[in-house]
Amino acid sequence: MRSEEVKRLARECGFELAGVARAEPAREAAWFQEWVRAGMAGEMRYLTDHRAELRNDPRTLLPSARSIICTGKLYNGPQPYSTRFNDGERAWISRYAWGEDYHGILREGLQRLAARIEAEAGPFEWKICVDTAPLLERVYARQAGLGWIGRNTCLIHEGQGSWFFLGELLVSLELEPDTPPPDRCGTCMRCIEACPTQAIVRTGKPEPAWALDARRCISYFTIELRSAVPEEHRAGIGNHVFGCDICQDVCPWNRKALVTADPAFAPREMAPPLEKLARLEEREFREMFRGTPVTRARYAGFLRNVAIAMGNSGAEKFREPLEALARHPEPLVREHATWALNRLAARTASRS
């Protein structure tokens, strides 16, 4: 079967981007291991435990794999970017988490793709990967021609931007691989300059010259971190309560990014009022965000994030809900609510 036919089928299965890479070790695997050893994964143990070594070779996931069909599904909406949203009394949720959880959507699309290929090429072995699998997704997506990896470590497509979910189909078929595109970041440093917590750091090496230090990243703090957010980074979080898009919002390649027509990614809760979020019981939190990625933050972690955002707002109207959070049974919530109250008090004192 020809690669062009596979890519046509992928587009018919709902993927805007598709390409083919060889199922073999990539030189970037060594970079990933260096990143892990440097501690930049923070507390994300699923990146540093025994699964870290599995990322060295895609054939650990499917021994018969000869090719990787890489796909990208657009999730961008017409709503304003976070860098143009100035309502400090509302919470910002990362664009990717506004609608349905993408894992199931991509998996269904890749299952359809496997069935379509099998109908035309006959039986073969295959395995679906959607970011929870130990596979260097962006590395193989680049090899498959889907885009280059920018300084913000996101995959960027020249014509369509970076608002893509990535999914892969490892197959036992021998398919002609695509060619990686050139890096087109040039001398632009906007993502690095815009990051409030300076999470994009120099490596001191020619390749990769830049890396994302999760220990300084707003997305890591608000989604992955289960403990207290380092106090020196709390102010930089602003009104983000789940994830962060700033390094993509400022990217010039996203100025004319395409917009998805898929209703699954339409926002349920784009920027809900912080006061409403602070009053959520755990049952209400689960109901409000059921079927979306937001539940990954967990209830206590989410309230921690809400408390930080309230403290950063400087709004006196949040004093009462913060006082309630300061009495919350979870120590994690109490600590951050107390910090937020002190921050409000300091702002009041400075004004007077």
Cα-based distances in Å from 276 to 270, 271, 281: 13, 11, 10
Asked if 309 and 274 touch (Cβ cutoff 8 Å), the reply is yes
End-to-end CA distance of the chain: 73
CA-closest candidate to residue 292, choices 234, 221, 223 = 223
- Quick one: pLDDT at residue 317? 96
- Quick one: pLDDT at residue 314? 93
178 given a catalytic annotation: no
Asked if 171 and 21 touch (Cβ cutoff 8 Å), the reply is no
- Quick one: pLDDT at residue 350? 77
Residue 308 CB-half CA count within 13 A: 26
Asked if 235 and 188 touch (Cβ cutoff 8 Å), the reply is no
How far apart are the C-alpha atoms of 19 and 15, rounded to whole Å?
11
- Quick one: pLDDT at residue 352? 66
Asked if 230 and 238 touch (Cβ cutoff 8 Å), the reply is no
- Quick one: pLDDT at residue 347? 85
Spans of the chain below 70 pLDDT: 352
- Quick one: pLDDT at residue 119? 97
Per-residue pLDDT tens over the stretch 249-298: 999 999 999 999 999 999 988 899 999 999 999 999 999 999 999 999 99
pTM: 0.95
Classify 271 as helix, strand or coil. coil
Asked if 236 and 258 touch (Cβ cutoff 8 Å), the reply is no
Q: Where are the domains of the chain?
A: 1-77+99-214, 215-346
Find the helix or strand (DSSP H, E) in which 71 lies.
strand 67-74
Q: Which of 57, 87, 101, 131 is catalytic?
A: 131
The residue count for the chain: 352
- Quick one: pLDDT at residue 313? 96
Asked if 259 and 305 touch (Cβ cutoff 8 Å), the reply is no
